[in-house]
Amino acid sequence: MAGEPVNVNEFQELARKVLPKMYYDFFAGGAEDEYTLKENVEAFHRITIQPRILVDVSRIDMSTVILGHKTAAPIILSPSAAHQLAHPEGEVATARGAAACNVIMGLSFMSTCTVEEVASSCNAVRFFQTYVYKRRDVTEFMVRRAENNGFRAIILTADTPRLGRREADIKNKMISFRLRNFEGLISTDVVSDKGSNLAAYTEETLDPSLCWKDIAWLKSITKLPILIKGVLNGEDAMKAIEAGVAGIIVSNHGARQLDYSPATISVLEELVQAVQGKAPVLLDGGIRRGTDIFKALALGAKAVMIGRPVIYGLAAKGESGVKQVIEMLKNELELTMALAGCCSVDDITRSHVETEKERFLCKM
C-alpha cells in the first residue's frame, strides 16, 4: 500500500506488516470459522442510506451526550485487551488519542497499562470494563480502583462464561501477556501444552456461574453507572433494564466468542425497541466507515464502539495513529450527515436507512 492511509481499513494492512504474526492474529482473529467476524462488517453493506436533499447543512454538529458526558461525536473506544502488544505505550497512547479527539475511552480489565497510568495520562472520559472472576474480591478491588481513579462508568462484559475457541491463538500457542493490574493480587502465570496460554488462564479465572442476580452484587460495590456488554436479543435487553443497568451494549465480543451469533447491526433495532428508551443502547462490532456509524444511529443506537481499527492505528503509528483513525471516522460521519441532509445526530432518523428485509418486502 503506497502513501498514507485514506480510510481506517488501510490501517489493518499497516498493522499486519509491523506486528508479529502471533499478536496480529490475536487482534484480528475471531472464533472458529469466523463467520460472525465477516458478518459484523458485511451486514452493514446490506443497509442503504436514504438521503434528503435541499437541506441547509452548512453547519454539522456531531456532538452527543452519553451518560451525562458530552463528546465530540457518538464514538466510544471499545475496551480491548493488551494494547502494549500493539505498541509500547499501550493504553496510555490510546487514552491520549481519545482525549485529543474528545471521545470516550473504554479501558479493558485485561489492559497492559495500569489503571493509574491511564488515569494520570490525560483528561479523557474513561469507562472501565470488567469481567467477574471466580475470586470476586479481585473484581471488586479492580472496580473500586477504577472508581477511585476517576473512571465514570463500569462496563460488565457478560458474554464470557468461558473463552471462545480462537483457533489462530491455539495454532500460535498464544502466550498470556503481563497483566500489571493484577500484580500482588492473583497469579497470571499459566502453562498449557494444549495451545493458547491465554485460554488456559481465562479458564482458571473467569466465573461461569455469573448470572442476572449478580448485577445487584456489582451495583452494591460501586456508585458508578453500569453498562452491560454482550446483549444480542430483546429478552436479555429487557432483563438488563429490570436489573437496573444504565446502558445496553449490543455486542458479540468482536466475533471472538460464539461463532454464528448474529451480526450486531442486524439485531440492533430489536434491542432498541425492547428497551423503549429506558436506557441508551450502544452498538459494538463491525464499524469501519462513517456511513456505518450513521446507519447504527438511524437504527436507534446512541453511539458506537470502535475496537479493531483503533488497535490497528495504534500498532501502525502509536497515539497519532489512534487519533487518525478517530478523526477519519468523524470526518466520514460528518460528510455522510451532510450528504444525507442531517445537521445533528438527532436529525438522523429511522427513515434515513432501508434494510435488506425492507427492500425484499417492497418487491413482493
The pLDDT tens digits of the residues spanning 151-169 come to 999 999 999 999 999 999 9
CA atoms within 13 A on the CB side of 35: 7
- Tell me: is residue 307 an annotated ligand-binding position: yes
Q: Is the C-alpha dihedral spanning 238, 243, 246, 249 positive or negative?
A: negative
Q: Which range, of 195-209, 250-264, 270-284, averages the lowest pLDDT?
A: 195-209
- Tell me: is residue 262 an annotated ligand-binding position: no
pLDDT bucket at 363, cuts 50 / 70 / 90 = low
Which residue shows C-alpha cell 462464561? 161
- Give the chain as a 3 state SS string: CCCCCCCCHHHHHHHHHHCCHHHHHHHHCCCCCCHHHHHHHHHHHCCEECCCCCCCCCCCECCEEECCEEECCCEEECCCCCHHHCCCCHHHHHHHHHHHHCCEEEECCCCCCCHHHHHHHCCCCEEEEECCECCHHHHHHHHHHHHHCCCCEEEEECCCCCCCCCHHHHHHCCCCCCCHHHCCCCCCCCCCCCCCHHHHHHHHHECCCCCCCHHHHHHHCCCCCEEEEEECCHHHHHHHHHCCCCEEEECCHHHCCCCCCCCHHHHHHHHHHHHCCCCCEEEECCCCCHHHHHHHHHCCCCEEEECHHHHHHHHHHHHHHHHHHHHHHHHHHHHHHHHHCCCEHHHCCHHHEECHHHHHHHHC
Quickly count: other Cβ atoms within 10 Å of residue 33's Cβ.
Answer: 11
Residue 153 forms beta bridges with which residues?
127
Average confidence score pLDDT of the chain: 94
pLDDT tops 80 at residue 193 = no
Task: Indicate the pTM of the whole model.
Answer: 0.95
- Note the pLDDT of residue 129: 98
- Note the pLDDT of residue 364: 58
Quickly count: other Cβ atoms within 10 Å of residue 183's Cβ.
Answer: 11
Q: pLDDT over 90 for what percent of the chain?
A: 87
- Tell me: is residue 251 an annotated ligand-binding position: yes
352 is catalytic: no
Which residue shows C-alpha cell 498449557? 192
What residue type is assigned to position 44 of the chain?
F
Give the residue from 5, 43, 35 showing the smallest Cα distance to 299.
43
pLDDT in tens, 214-233: 999 999 999 999 999 999 99
Which residue shows C-alpha cell 461525536? 73
- Tell me: is residue 201 an annotated ligand-binding position: no
- Note the pLDDT of residue 180: 86
Look at strands 153-157 and 126-130 and give their pairing: parallel
Q: And the C-alpha cell for 12?
A: 489493518
- Note the pLDDT of residue 188: 64
Quickly count: other Cβ atoms within 10 Å of residue 6's Cβ.
Answer: 9
- Note the pLDDT of residue 32: 97
- Note the pLDDT of residue 53: 97
- Tell me: is residue 253 an annotated ligand-binding position: yes
- 293-314 mean pLDDT: 98
Rounded distance between C-alpha atoms, residue 255 and residue 39, angstroms:
9
- Tell me: is residue 202 an annotated ligand-binding position: no
- 263-270 mean pLDDT: 98
- 305-324 mean pLDDT: 98
CA atoms within 13 A on the CB side of 263: 19
What phi and psi values does residue 228 have, to the nearest 5 degrees?
-110, 125
Q: Which range, of 134-138, 237-241, 264-268, averages the lowest pLDDT?
A: 134-138
Q: Which of 83, 87, 253, 352 is catalytic?
A: 253
- Tell me: is residue 131 an annotated ligand-binding position: yes
Q: pLDDT over 70 for what percent of the chain?
A: 95
Contact 153, 223 (CB under 8 A): no
Q: Is the C-alpha dihedral spanning 342, 343, 346, 347 positive or negative?
A: negative
- Note the pLDDT of residue 204: 84
Which residue shows C-alpha cell 493504553? 91
- Tell me: is residue 50 an annotated ligand-binding position: no
Q: Which range, of 209-213, 215-219, 250-254, 357-361, averages the lowest pLDDT?
A: 357-361
- Note the pLDDT of residue 201: 78
pLDDT tops 80 at residue 359 = no
CA 87 to centroid of chain Cα atoms: 19
pLDDT tops 90 at residue 186 = no
- 349-358 mean pLDDT: 91
pLDDT bucket at 2, cuts 50 / 70 / 90 = low
